[in-house]
Structure 1
């Protein structure tokens, strides 16, 4: 009897990312263990995939898991940094997860013509820089989610489109960039807890002219917006 195929279980963070992806060919950049692309193919959310990993240890780990899953014919593993191992137009969607926003923004900025029409990003810190990058780079924010874990994890789906992003219409810009336009409109309990935690953290640090002062003002604007919608 042949051994059962490897079928990884995703944590809440990656499961949230999974729900934002649907593509013909998807690339997972910095994939580590390749759990996400394996689940994408298992659930029919992608037909084929490319796994990109820079470091030798995780690269070998990804190859082993894909072999255990019996998906070597549909999931290709490539060694390299960011989008460098991809060809322009090769994939129609890509994900970056578990990195800082600054690292992600650098990877995206260097990708140039290799950027696909859709991106799903899950930073481990504030996604403010990613939302700013999207607005400056011809991507609209089509969906956002929050996942609970060690801290609150945001996940963003971006789609290439022309003109101003309608997601930000009729919203105060600073809070929308910091906390997310779709998330502000949804006003979930998880988001409210995140904003209150920011207020509590920033109040002892805030003074006129300090960065924390502007951050605290943004958090208070977000709370005021949510209170008006109750």
Structure 2
């Protein structure tokens, strides 16, 4: 049986997951957990889906892949269908960053020590949440697509997150500390586009002024011209 295809953002999510037990929250078609099993990245998976259509689709795809013994599909909201400590890691993809942060806040003791997250907009709320809840940012990707898709891996750890050391905090939260250090072309284009967009809007006291200063600080870390 051929492996279910994943787009570039979910391939990036896949590459950052490795655990014995993993939950995919809001899985939709279940292609990601199926691939995780087939590629040996997880030993057992729990698929959580709230909406009836995607829930039925996930169940059909798991049966079609003959993985009922290692992938369990559960109906529910966020981490509610999981027991505390049941999984080592979890993924939440394809939602707004604010929605993902809300799911993580509500998870409480059900939240596992490793998280791989792919928001569809600025991941700043997730980075802020992680710093406040004892998760360190271990890896980041920025995948070109309809817009640049960020992918983050967080792991529970004590103390200050070393990823942010020596960087302007506002720029690191907005654009990502690892991404700023790596200076990928995708990030350079994004920061430069922000500078161009915000420059005519900026004036003292305006939100655009603060955002422009953040983008300019990021540009400085990247070494000048973002193009």
TM-score (norm 1): 0.96
CA distance in 2 between counterparts of 1:212 and 1:81 reads 36
Asked if residue 146 in structure 1 is aligned to residue 142 in structure 2, the reply is: yes
Corresponding residue for residue 209 of structure 1:
205
8 Å Cα contact 1:6/1:68 also seen in 2: no
Deviation at 1:55, TM superposition (A): 0.2
CA distance in 2 between counterparts of 1:56 and 1:96 reads 18
SS at match of 1:156: strand
Q: How does 1:137-176 map to 2 (within 5 A)?
A: 137-176=133-172
CA distance in 2 between counterparts of 1:203 and 1:34 reads 43
Deviation at 1:95, TM superposition (A): 0.3
CA distance in 1 between counterparts of 2:82 and 2:201 reads 44
Q: How does 1:80-159 map to 2 (within 5 A)?
A: 80-159=76-155
Deviation at 1:90, TM superposition (A): 0.1
CA distance in 2 between counterparts of 1:62 and 1:200 reads 43
8 Å Cα contact 1:6/1:65 also seen in 2: no
Q: How does 1:1-230 map to 2 (within 5 A)?
A: 5=1, 7-227=3-223
8 Å Cα contact 1:6/1:69 also seen in 2: no
Deviation at 1:6, TM superposition (A): 5.4
CA RMSD of aligned residues (A): 1.4
CA distance in 2 between counterparts of 1:222 and 1:125 reads 18
TM-score (norm 2): 0.97
Q: What count of residue pairs does the alignment treat as equivalent? A: 226
SS at match of 1:9: coil
Deviation at 1:206, TM superposition (A): 1.9
CA distance in 2 between counterparts of 1:51 and 1:6 reads 20
Deviation at 1:7, TM superposition (A): 2.1
Which blocks of at least 5 consecutive residues in structure 2 are unaligned? none
SS at match of 1:61: helix
